[in-house]
Amino acid sequence: MALDFTRRGLMKTGYVAATVLATKASIVSAQSGEGQKTMESPGDSGWQDITPDLTDYISGAATHTVPAAIRERATLHILDTLASIIACNSLEAATLGRAYAAAMSPDGQSPILGSRQAASPVDAVFASAMTAHAAEINDFIPSAYVQPGPAIVPVSIEAARANGRTGSDLVGAVIAGYEIAGRLPKAIGTRNLYLAGLANHGIAPTFGAASAAASLMGLSPEQVDHMLAYCSQQASGSWQWLLDVRHIEKAFVFGGMGARNGLQAAYMAQLGFTGVPESFDNENAWFRWRAFQGEGKDHASLVDGLHERYELSLAAMKRYPVGGPTQPAVRALLDLRETIAPDQVEKIVVAMPGEAATFERANMPALNIPYLAAIIMLDGRLDFVDAQSLSRQETDEQARAFARKVTVVRDEAQEMGEGEDRTESARVTVTLKDGRTEERYVAYVPGFPTHPLGKAEVEEKAIELIEPVLGRSKANRLVALCDGLDDAPSIEPIIDLMRFDGDAARS
């Protein structure tokens, strides 16, 4: 007999009732302590309980003792994210995020960073995070396929502001947020997430933002446990962001959604919402779900080495306002443009590791290498606005014609072996009309974890992004405020500086 998988059919067969009873029995057993505290999946021997270490770590994150070098990296990532918000405040994803927040909570009091507007806490961080990822300029953790800053930094600032916390508390919370966001996809297995149709870029920021907020809001380990259950229920994000054209759905997935869901989960736990206890240890709950049992999972790595190994040391920054994998090609093209004029070029071949075709046909300008090559060669530089300009990509006939000279190919020789660290490199070969060729190979662009940007370089990038909007004086002021966060009694000066109109006067 064929099974009826409609809700009515399942109810008739007793399928739903049996499933609910079985799941309830597992949870009751875990709560009552009968038998083992947590269930073991077949072949999953020696399960290590995760929840106690995880909730203790998150709850106390604001005051953890952290090496000075890691704390400095955290302040630099805060600066990098705030600079992104300032530079992107007029882009479409940013204006739509603010419009949504204004419509949802017009009488809210929480500041939307990069504007003079305010909204409810959850709506405000949503808009701030949409702004932070309105363009391809914010940070990322390549080993986890996560861009943590857009969601985690605005949520941390709002939670610190609302709870009167110090700059040092903020830094500690941000470190914890990056830690959880970076570890979670690798603990589940990045391939397992992909095969389940779930984008790391949406899931990890939800947990990271919630973790950062929890310590600043003073949540207890028990409340954090419940918070994680609500993060799990909201863990979402589809890989269809790759098909996005206008960078609005992508800004939602990478930034706004995680900020909104994470802060919401923290508030729910604070208000007394209860969820499945010890959900990260229960085999019937999200973290150990059957879709996440494939090769590559390492559940214990979520808590192993906390306070010893830091995801911030694996975090990267984008030196140029384009997607991470396109950075080396951009660097090579900028170098070649110094001695080659556009009318000399017959063709350009960009060889890179990985899915090269993705970056030859990308809908988004900042990911489309032929378009980026065209504007670099035609303009003699890479402008932040033009790097994001869908309008120019679609309507500039000179750029479109030049882009047809550019081919992007996969070069397996540049790829690392299975299980080794991801690489980002490029070899760009320009064939001139007289038959000569010029070539540049870029093994990495400074900013990648193996070759991180130094403090002065991060500050230089921030000033480049901030100065056109707020002027040099305020750019220098924000750099100084972030540099002094660990000694700051309040974060209000940063929030004050982040309040401005889109047409802010230079100073």
CA 375/CA 181 separation, integer angstroms: 35
Angle at 449 between CA 299 and CA 452, to 5 degrees: 150
Check residue 323 and give its pLDDT.
Answer: 87
Using CA atoms, how far apart are residues 221 and 218, in angstroms rounded to an integer? 10
Of 294, 314, 334, the residue that ends a domain is 314
Domain-embedded: residue 499: no
Give which of 153, 161, 232 is closest to 224, Cα–Cα. Answer: 232
My answer on whether 349 and 277 are in the same domain is no
Euclidean distance between CA atoms 201 and 207, whole angstroms = 11
* Last residue within a domain, chosen from 287, 314, 341: 314
Do the domain assignments include residue 19? no
The pLDDT value recorded for residue 13 is 37
358 and 431 in a single domain? The answer is yes
* Nearest-angstrom CA–CA distance, 293 and 194: 13
140 shares a domain with 252: yes
What does the pLDDT read at residue 46? 59
Same domain as 341, residue 270: no
pLDDT at position 415 is 86
| 465 within 8 A of 384, measured Cβ to Cβ | yes
Tokens of 177: 């947020």
Whether residues 124 and 221 share a domain: the answer is yes
pLDDT, position 96? 98
Whether 4 maps to a domain, the answer reads no
Within this chain, do residues 333 and 256 fall inside the same structural domain, yes or no? no
Instruction: Say how far apart CA 10 and CA 18 lie, in whole Å.
Output: 10
Q: What is the pLDDT of residue 45?
A: 52
The helix/strand/coil state of 433 is: coil
Structure tokens at 207: 């947990």
Would residue 14 count as lying in a domain?
Answer: no
Please tell me the pTM assigned to this model.
0.84
CATH number of the domain enclosing 101: 1.10.4100.10
- pLDDT for 12: 35
Closest to 50 in 3D by CA, of 226, 244, 228, 280: 280
438: CATH: 3.30.1330.120
Same domain, 277 and 386: no
The domain total for the chain is 2
pLDDT value for 355: 85
Domain extent at residue 244: 51-314
Q: What is the pLDDT of residue 48?
A: 79
The residue among 394, 424, 442 that closes a domain is 442
289 and 432 co-located in one domain? no
Residue 319 within a domain: no
pLDDT for residue 424 = 83
Interhelix angle 68-88/455-470, rounded to 10 degrees, is 20
What are the residue ranges in the chain where pLDDT is below 50? 1-43, 419, 504-507
308 and 331 share one domain: no
Residue 8 lies in a domain: no
- Residues 223 and 104 occupy one common structural domain: yes
> Residues 278, 338: one domain?
no
- Asked whether residue 369 is domain-assigned, the answer is yes
Residue that has been written with the tokens 């589809």 in this structure: 238
275 lies in the same domain as 332: no
Please check whether residue 491 lies inside any domain of the structure: no
